[in-house]
């Protein structure tokens, strides 16, 4: 293969001839692209075969997504991968601009690899939980993709129904077993009896805070971390706006020599900062919303557990 055949990718071989092995950025980026293209091709073929030959046709009318263990961590890692991929592409474009500023040809290899990485996806499946076997179970929150759960898109059916007619209690259907009073009280009762036994052994009064913490502590503390993270992300916007103002008001800059942009140059770019504001705003909103949802649900659980405990004593 002659060097001219790489002109479309390397920009008249400007970087192809700049080094060998790990020093050759065009060669490395070209190697990165190859497995991504292969994955896109084979995954597309697999999806077609899965749709036509799957043995899980009995679940095709299911209203729920059947998750594999680790579904949520995979989505979170995918979100991180998306941000890194966008940064990869942005860094390539900014580096490419330094070549164009010196009247040198385009360097597509700097950002094509990032585009290919972003085109890859993940497949997942699982067994059918008991909750989904209820005909009138319409609480989809735990059986939807993570983006749908976080944005409450799964409630779209309820909004549509409410637009068409007044919503009746019968329209809401049943709830998952873990949100029923019996299931909530069973967990609370277990920790309550453990604390009662501990207090009797040590000759002390029961500490209900221990019961609450053991029953709801992990989830409430996690929700608190979500809230703290959301509050910290509020500072990203003002900091980025300051950088954007500096970027816009900066005078004429000396044309830089062709080079890979540094972290400082990358974060000083106004367009990158706009992207940072967008990502931080979306992330902050998601953390805030999840915090309010978790605390509201756990509050209802605590109230239900105490009420059932009181009724059982009476």
pLDDT for res 1: 47
Regarding whether 149 and 193 lie in a shared domain, the answer is no
Judged on CB neighbours under 10 Å (0-12, 13-18, 19+), 31 is exposed
- 224 part of a folded domain: yes
* Nearest alpha-carbon partner for 286 in 226, 243, 225: 226
Number of domains the chain is built from:
3
Q: How far apart are CA 62 and CA 185, in angstroms?
A: 30
Once rounded to an integer, what is the mean pLDDT over residues 17-43?
64
Q: How far apart are CA 24 and CA 207, in angstroms?
A: 66
- 110 part of a folded domain: yes
Average pLDDT, rounded, for the chain: 77
pLDDT for res 17: 46
pLDDT over 70 percentage in the chain? 69
Q: How far apart are CA 56 and CA 290, in angstroms?
A: 32
- 1 part of a folded domain: no
Q: How confident is the model over 137-163, as pLDDT tens digits?
A: 788 787 777 888 888 888 888 888 899
Regarding whether 164 and 82 lie in a shared domain, the answer is no
Regarding whether 256 and 224 lie in a shared domain, the answer is yes
Domain of residue 82, residue span: 7-47+64-126
Regarding whether 191 and 81 lie in a shared domain, the answer is no
- 52 part of a folded domain: no
Once rounded to an integer, what is the mean pLDDT over residues 197-226?
90
Regarding whether 145 and 109 lie in a shared domain, the answer is no
- 59 part of a folded domain: no
Once rounded to an integer, what is the mean pLDDT over residues 26-43?
69
Q: How confident is the model over 70-128, as pLDDT tens digits?
A: 777 778 877 887 888 788 778 878 877 777 777 666 665 555 555 655 555 444 444 45
Provide CB contacts within 8 A for 290, sequence distance 6+. 150, 223, 226
- 54 part of a folded domain: no
Judged on CB neighbours under 10 Å (0-12, 13-18, 19+), 118 is middle
- On the question of pLDDT at 58 being above 50, the answer is no
Q: How far apart are CA 312 and CA 211, in angstroms?
A: 17
Q: How confident is the model over 270-293, as pLDDT tens digits?
A: 999 999 999 999 999 999 999 999
- On the question of pLDDT at 208 being above 90, the answer is no
Question: Residue 67: which pLDDT band, with cuts at 50, 70 and 90?
Answer: low
- 57 part of a folded domain: no
The pTM score is 0.69
Torsion of CA 209, 210, 215, 218, to 10 degrees: 90
pLDDT for res 286: 92
Provide CB contacts within 8 A for 20, sequence distance 6+. 27
Regarding whether 91 and 182 lie in a shared domain, the answer is no
């Amino acid at each position: 293969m002659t060097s001219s055949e790489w002109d479309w990718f390397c920009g008249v071989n400007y970087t192809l001839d700049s080094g060998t092995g790990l020093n050759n950025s065009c060669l490395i980026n070209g190697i990165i692209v190859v497995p991504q293209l292969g994955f896109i091709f084979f995954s597309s073929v697999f999806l077609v075969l899965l749709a036509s030959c799957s043995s899980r046709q009995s679940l095709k009318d299911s209203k729920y997504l059947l998750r594999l263990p680790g579904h949520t961590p995979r989505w979170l890692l995918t979100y991180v991968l998306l941000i890194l991929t966008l940064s990869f592409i942005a860094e390539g474009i900014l580096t490419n601009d330094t070549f164009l500023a010196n009247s040198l040809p385009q360097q597509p290899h700097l950002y094509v690899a990032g585009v290919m990485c972003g085109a890859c996806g993940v497949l997942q499946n699982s067994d059918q939980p008991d909750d989904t076997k209820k005909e009138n179970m319409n609480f989809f929150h735990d059986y939807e993709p993570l983006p749908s759960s976080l944005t409450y898109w799964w409630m779209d059916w309820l909004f549509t129904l409410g637009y068409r007619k007044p919503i009746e209690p019968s329209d809401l259907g049943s709830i998952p077993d873990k949100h029923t009073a019996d299931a909530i009280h069973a967990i609370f009762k277990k920790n309550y009896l453990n604390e009662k036994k501990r207090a009797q052994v040590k000759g002390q009064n029961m500490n209900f805070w221990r019961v609450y913490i053991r029953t709801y502590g992990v989830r409430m503390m996690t929700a608190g971390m979500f809230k703290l993270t959301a509050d910290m992300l509020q500072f990203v916007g003002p900091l980025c706006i300051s950088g954007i103002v500096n970027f816009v008001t900066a005078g004429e800059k000396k044309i830089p020599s062709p080079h890979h942009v540094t972290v400082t140059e990358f974060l000083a770019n106004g367009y990158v900062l706009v992207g940072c504001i967008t990502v931080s705003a979306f992330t902050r909103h998601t953390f805030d919303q999840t915090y309010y949802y978790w605390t509201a649900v756990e509050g209802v659980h605590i109230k239900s557990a105490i009420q059932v405990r009181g009724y059982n004593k009476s």
